[in-house]
Structure 1
Amino acid sequence: MTRRALCCACLCVAAGTGMAQSTYPSRAILMIVPQTAGGTNDIVGRVVSQKLSEILGSPVAVENRPGAGGNIGTQFAAKSAKDGYTLLMTISSSQAINPALYKNPGFDPVKDFKPVALIGAVPNVLLANADFPAKSMKELIAMAKAKPGQYQYASAGNGTLNHLLGEMLNSMAGIDLQHVPYKGVAPALNDVLGGQLPLVFASLPSSLAHIKSGKLKPLAVSSSKRSPALPDVPALSEVVPGYTGTLWIGLFAPAGVPADVQIKLQDAMAKTLAAKDLRDKLELQGVEMAGPTTPEQFATLLNEDIVRWAQIVKSSGASID
């Protein structure tokens, strides 16, 4: 091949590569949310998908695939085509807790996914039915100690963060609240709203409207300090020293997505998360937005949480086949 022909060939390859990069996305992107509609991840996913769609110039559709504590939707995303058209919007309880909780979750949180963007964190809130006698954490702990095993708390399911937060509270406060698992946070909240159960751990975004309406009574937030969205509600650590447990939310792509597509997604998410209207919407929902975070930093956070929650799961004795 002559030098001129070689140069022409190289230019054609380069042009072809550029065209391949510029065509993504050429069709709708599917954002898998492995939890039920109405929960934190669903709320955040729908806000983010709308802004991401504007920036990419292509539809981003949210699809809820709940079940098995998030494993079903996560498995689906892990096994999807590695082309950038299926993404996973997930939470730390599914991605960092499930590998320790389930004997076979059906995915590897590190090997099967590449972090795209960390969105933020939310505390859970320990909520009481409006008619429940306790008006504070101190009163609840006193009641629970006086009548061990009598009071129940609802969660989004066995092994979810809501469940483990209750087990941590039992252990650290020396009480015995009985756990009642539901299939998602929405039915758990509904039964506490209806008075069937007195207490529930629920994420702030999924419960904020009920708190503001006065239908549910917030006793404490699970973060190490008070939430800006509920400045008058104490952190649980103020009553139970050392107690902390927050939920992070992030976007992942299946491992194996082409590097240029991964970079485009990361750039688009950086612009999405920098948008003031998006940040305002999510902060009003109780999301504490993350600062600029590289995918590598997000990967480090995931690995650290996998180790931390494995220890908590082991000490709680929780296990799901």
Structure 2
Amino acid sequence: MAFPRQWFAVPLGAAALAALCASAPVGAQDAWPARPIQMVVASSAGSGTDALARLLAQRLSVSLKQPVVVDNRPGGSGVVGTSFVVKAPPDGYTLLYTTASNMVIAPAVLKTIPYDPKKSLVPIAETAEGGVVLLVSNDLPVHSLPELVRFVKANPDKYGYATWSTGSSGQLTMEWLKKQTGMQTDHVPYRTSNQLLTDLASGVVKIGWTDPGAPIPFLRSGKIRAIAITGNARAPQLPEVKTMGEQGYKFDAVGWFGVFAPAGTNPAILKRLGDEINKVQKAPDLAATMKTMNFGPPPVTTPEQFREMVGRDLQLWSKIAADARIQID
């Protein structure tokens, strides 16, 4: 699909963005949108979150007939970008594109956070989701989640498990699994999923969790195996990998992506945004791109359903973090 040149979402500096917004007339709220929309991404440029945000921004620019400008504000487990949107005027011209890691996991593990994740933002629409994947090195003699549980219980504290950071969904999921099964295994935090996967493939660590897109090249090389995935659906690129629930350990929470607005935003604007996002999400090329990244389309289709899911996930992750005594200053 071709887009008019002036509608493409491109990265702009703060000054350029302010000038762009100031140059457009500000109309009444019933004429929204009357000027460019700033979509803040609480992740770095080039990340998977950034890629999904730009795909959505390009299509919304066409649908809304106003530029939707991506503004990357990474840092602090998503707190930097989220705080910026929380403080923005609730006029529909500043939105947040973010993840479950930022919205429901960070608040569960951070000691302090400068906003209320349940009250400061309004969920508009979920855009994609995918579970985290449980992996083992090829020389570990297990091929399923029940086999891993039995193996680790027979070898207590001998095998650690790796994730991409302390307080990650991978760590919290494994701590939940340890509580259910009585496994004894310590957490080995890495800085990035790629470093983790490299060590997993070479046998430095034997067990690890990653997001659904990262391990595909390593899995194809045959150096690691995927044995389970969280959530209720198998990953598009890993249809042979059973969910945890299919293997007797039901864990519904997944990694999701979504759009939020500051609390107090006009309900009519929220409805228009939700409708437009759900409409562009149905584009075949967008679905195909998400599939190559190993993310599935969202089953949640209304703001109310998305709001309920955010609330459930925040409660779940907070309980797991408290039970495991995981807290980050």
> Which TM-score applies when normalising by structure 1?
0.80
Tell me, in whole angstroms, the C-alpha distance in 1 between the residues paired with 2:186 and 2:34.
48
Conserved 8 A contact 1:37-1:64: no
Corresponding residue number in structure 2 for 1:53:
61
Tell me, in whole angstroms, the C-alpha distance in 2 between the residues paired with 1:42 and 1:168.
29
Conserved 8 A contact 1:53-1:60: yes
Q: Deviations over 1:231-275 (max 9, x none)?
A: 211222344433443222211112244455434422321222122
- The Cα of 1:278 is off from its aligned counterpart by 1.2
Corresponding residue number in structure 1 for 2:40:
31
Q: Deviations over 1:278-299 (max 9, x none)?
A: 1232134332312462212221
Tell me, in whole angstroms, the C-alpha distance in 2 between the residues paired with 1:221 and 1:272.
28
> Residues 17 and 285 of structure 1: is their aligned pair in 2 closer, same or farther, counting only changes over 3 Å?
closer
SS at match of 1:105: coil
Corresponding residue number in structure 1 for 2:327:
319
Tell me the amino acid that sits aligned with residue 182 of structure 1.
Y
- The higher radius of gyration belongs to 1
Corresponding residue number in structure 2 for 1:160:
168
> Residues 213 and 66 of structure 1: is their aligned pair in 2 closer, same or farther, counting only changes over 3 Å?
farther
Q: Deviations over 1:59-118 (max 9, x none)?
A: 444444443333233223322344434322222232123333222122211221111211
Aligned pairs for 1:210-225 (under 5 A) are 210-224=218-232
Give aligned-pair identity as a percent: 32
Tell me, in whole angstroms, the C-alpha distance in 1 between the residues paired with 2:115 and 2:134.
31
Tell me, in whole angstroms, the C-alpha distance in 2 between the residues paired with 1:182 and 1:80.
34
Corresponding residue number in structure 1 for 2:108:
100
Corresponding residue number in structure 1 for 2:158:
150
> Residues 203 and 130 of structure 1: is their aligned pair in 2 closer, same or farther, counting only changes over 3 Å?
same
SS at match of 1:175: coil
SS at match of 1:204: coil
Aligned pairs for 1:71-220 (under 5 A) are 71-193=79-201, 195-220=203-228
SS at match of 1:278: helix
Name the Cα RMSD after superposition: 3.0
Tell me, in whole angstroms, the C-alpha distance in 2 between the residues paired with 1:50 and 1:152.
43
> Which TM-score applies when normalising by structure 2?
0.79
SS at match of 1:31: strand
SS at match of 1:90: strand
- The Cα of 1:300 is off from its aligned counterpart by 1.9
Tell me the amino acid that sits aligned with residue 31 of structure 1.
V
Q: Which 5+ residue runs of structure 2 have no aligned equivalent?
A: 1-24
- The Cα of 1:165 is off from its aligned counterpart by 0.9
> Residues 73 and 155 of structure 1: is their aligned pair in 2 closer, same or farther, counting only changes over 3 Å?
farther
Tell me, in whole angstroms, the C-alpha distance in 2 between the residues paired with 1:201 and 1:318.
17
> Residues 75 and 131 of structure 1: is their aligned pair in 2 closer, same or farther, counting only changes over 3 Å?
farther
Q: Which 5+ residue runs of structure 1 have no aligned equivalent?
A: 1-15
SS at match of 2:239: coil
Conserved 8 A contact 1:36-1:42: yes
